[in-house]
Amino acid sequence: MEAILTASIREETGKGIANKLRSAGQLPAVLYGKDNLVITLNTREVQKFLATYGTSQLAQVNLVKGKKSSKRPVLIKEVQVDPVKGDLLHVDLYEVSMDTKVTVSVPIVLVGQEERQNDGALVDQLLYEVEVSCLPTEIPKRIEVDVSKLAMNQSIAVQDITPPKDVEFITALDEVVVTAIPPRVETTETGAKAEAEDEAEAAPAPEA
């Protein structure tokens, strides 16, 4: 289903105007492209889009100016969030050409963990997103990495993953995505030493 964000061109800018817009449920934004435009988005629409698609999926901006409107394909370039409240503050969008490849970061999701042999290994994910190049309409929602056959002391790198059709990995192919590591085992000697140190700290100080 096509994701549509409603936008309107605004003439006024500045911190005071931006705060008024946010109070009214609107989100200040900039649309970069053949003509850079200062626009306003609906905050709830953007929140819903981010929760559903993240920041790497194609959207259509329905740009309204007066009685006229036009749709433009866009990707989210940057999202500014209030560090304390977590509220959206500002969004940068950039217009894309449907016949030109783009480079975006796509989340990595591990699958098949419940099918792994119970060898005691801990599955440690090191890479949580991978950079890909493809046409805007071919951007995958996620890259699944099957760890069902990942054994102790083995790893899966980017080069071990088959990319979706018409998608190319930009991330270095030798970058490790996930590895199966042995569980940490505390030796008896180490444990005894730690216990002795704890007892020494807990003992009352000798009287002078």
**Per-residue pLDDT tens for 78-122?**
999 999 999 999 999 999 999 999 999 999 999 999 999 888 899
The angle subtended at Cα 133 by Cα 128 and Cα 137, nearest 5°, is 100
Superfamily of domain 4-95: Ribosomal Protein L25; Chain P (2.40.240.10)
Every domain of the chain with CATH number 2.170.120.20 lies at 102-181
Would you say 9 and 37 are in contact if contact means Cβ atoms under 8 Å apart?
Answer: yes
Report which residue type is found at 31.
L
**Model-level pTM?**
0.76
The class (CATH top level) of 102-181 is mainly beta
Per-position pLDDT tens, the chain of length 208: 468 899 998 877 778 888 888 989 999 999 998 888 999 999 999 999 999 988 899 999 998 877 788 899 999 999 999 999 999 999 999 999 999 999 999 999 999 999 998 888 999 999 999 999 999 999 999 999 999 999 999 999 999 999 999 999 999 999 999 999 998 766 555 555 555 566 555 555 555 4
**Per-residue pLDDT tens for 66-81?**
778 889 999 999 999 9
Every domain of the chain with CATH number 2.40.240.10 lies at 4-95
The string of DSSP letters for the chain reads: ---EEEEEE----SHHHHHHHHHTTEEEEEEESSS-EEEEEEHHHHHHHHHHHTTSS-EEEEEEETTEEEEEEEEEEEEEE-TTT--EEEEEEEE--TTS-EEEEEEEEEE-GGGS---S-EEEE---EEEEEE-GGG--S-EEEE-TTPPTT-EEEGGGSPPPTT-EE-S-TT-EEEEEEPPP---HHHHHHHHHHHHHHHSPPPP-
Name beta bridge partners: 156. 178
Give me 32's structure tokens.
């970069």
